[in-house]
Structure 1
Amino acid sequence: MVKTFRDLHFGDRPLLLPNAWDVPSALTFAEAGFDAIGTTSFGVASALGRPDGGRATKEANLRLAEALSAVPGHVSVDIEDGYADSPEAVADYVAQLDAAGVNIEDSTDETLIPSQAHAAKVQAVKERCPALFVNARVDTYWLGQDADVESTLERAQLYCRHGADGVFVPGAVEPAVLGELAANIPVPVNVLVVPGLSLGELGRLGIRRVSTGSLPYRAAVHAAASVAVAVRDGGGVPAAVPYPELQARLVDYARRVG
């Protein structure tokens, strides 16, 4: 039986969601066996030559979501703060996306917005798209604003009451904090990769989803520079996907999209 995106949050260990920024990166994750792929607003913005945030990825994400609809597996789109202050405008935007889920953050321009305002966005999206998995991001720890368990839980539980299917708390890394959040949030809790903690260890703390965020994109940029430096300086050339293999993926993808 094919598992839904929601089902993947309730497996034996946390769902590892790699974050793509274009079609080739998504195809590579699918080829590696991942059943679900997220997008990274940082990677999408950076590829446009723009800094993350500031609602720079609005149009690019519409095009990317359409392109990724032909990639095998489920896709969740990172839509920053929904690209609008109005809950209705956010819902209008989300309704255009061909995706299994969205990730929407409760901050704008590096500042937390009132929790009720974000809850209204979550509710509007769920009312418009009830089957969509809405991952409500709580940016308290990420921004260092109200970065404590009590404030984070207050926001997370409010978003859950307004229909959030999951809660994402990037920047929370201490095991005791993660355990307390997971125990008191009634939906799957999502965190970024935590150095030093395996998926199994995060699962034992109650975490149900782990995102790579911008890490793959930043690693790819680093690898690109490493290749050029290695050739220039006479070092060993780093490993890469063979040209014929990547070309074959793209040819197959092109056939599917017509």
Structure 2
Amino acid sequence: MSKAETFRALHRGRLPGDPLVLPGPWDAASAQVFADAGFPALATPSAGVAASLGYEDGATPADEMFAAVARIVRAVDVPVSADVEGGYGLAPEELVERLLETGAVGCNLEDSNGGVLKVAAQHADWLAEVRSAAGDQLFVNARIDVFEYGDSNPERAIERAALYVAAGADCVYPIGAPVGVLPLLRSGIQGPINVFARPHSPSPAEQLSGQLAGHLAELGERGATRITFGPGLQRRATHALREIAGNLMDASHSFD
């Protein structure tokens, strides 16, 4: 079974309360940590990768993003899906070609540009072209930005999801959807649903573990097929490193 087939199979037959949890590595080292912990697959966050490369979210040049994804893929044996934002203006065939060159088995594709929702029907047509170019080599996760940049109406998200699934999307991602509307989305959307989880960065590691366990189970019970974290894990790691740096600085003053 290829990595792409393995990744697709991980989304099938998930029971409520048992979502597929996909940590988001931002570089090769973090990818190795997650893979060594036993996660069966990973999903890069564009904002986390951008931060690791010194860019603001959404400002990473395409060449640097694809190169970063390739380094992450090379570092681990598990399947890796890549957040490639809105596709960087590439034609579907070129986008698919460049993704496959990195070794990625899936991709996130946004339905907004510059904080403005794209015309859903036009975006669905574009997704259909991506699907046609990719065949079964890529798992397409179609992000729905209604809750980020639209009117936050769940029905609008369901309408967009229907268009994207009909266009060939393997999964839809209503980013920012409130937990309370997940059952409604689950009842109205065909196929897997990606839900965004927010780790509680200020919490100690032991407390965070307990918080996350309950939060992930709740998201699964309410309809999440798979869970990703956006740049949350990278930001928590940065928070921890900032504390270490502060302690180091305090210790260094003791030598003065």
The two structures share one fold, judged by TM-score above 0.5: yes
**1:60 maps to what in 2?**
64
* Per-residue CA distance 1:188-242 (angstroms, 9 max, x = gap): 00111157752222222221011011011111111111001122335xxxxxxxx
Q: Report the CA distance between 1:7 and its aligned residue.
A: 1.6
Post-superposition CA distance 1:36-93 (Å, at most 9, x none): 0111111111222221114x24112221232233312110000000111754554454
Q: Please name the residue that 2:208 is paired with.
A: none
The answer to which structure, 1 or 2, has the higher relative contact order (CA under 8 A, 6+ apart) is 2
Q: Is the aligned partner of 1:212 residue 2:229?
A: yes
Q: Which moved more, 1:62-71 or 1:180-189?
A: 62-71
Rounded to whole Å, the distance in 2 between the matches of 1:160 and 1:140 is 16
2:129 counterpart (124, 149, 153) = 124
C-alpha change, 1:112 and 1:89, in structure 2 (3 Å) is farther
Give the one of 137, 148, 163 matched to 1:142.
148
Task: Write the distance in 2 (CA, Å) between the matches of 1:49 and 1:75.
Answer: 22
RMSD of the TM alignment (CA)? Answer: 2.2
How far apart, in 2, do the equivalents of 1:45 and 1:182 lie? 31
Note the 1:40-79 alignment, pairs <5 A: 40-54=45-59, 56-70=60-74, 71-79=76-84
1:184 aligned residue: 188
- For the residue of structure 1 that corresponds to 2:243, the secondary structure is helix
Structure with the larger helix share? 2
Q: TM-score, normalised by structure 2?
A: 0.83
Structure 2 residue ranges without an equivalent (≥5): 200-210, 252-256
The match for 2:110 is 105
Give the unaligned 5+ runs of structure 1.
Answer: 235-258
CA shift in 2, pair 1:130/1:73, >3 Å: same
* Aligned partner of 2:178 among 168, 173, 176: 173
> Which shows bigger deviation, 154-163 or 44-53?
44-53
Identity of aligned residues (%): 39
Report how far residue 100 of structure 1 moved. 1.3
**Which deviations, in whole Å up to 9, do the C-alpha atoms of 1:123-149 show, x marking residues without a partner?**
111111111110000011123x12111
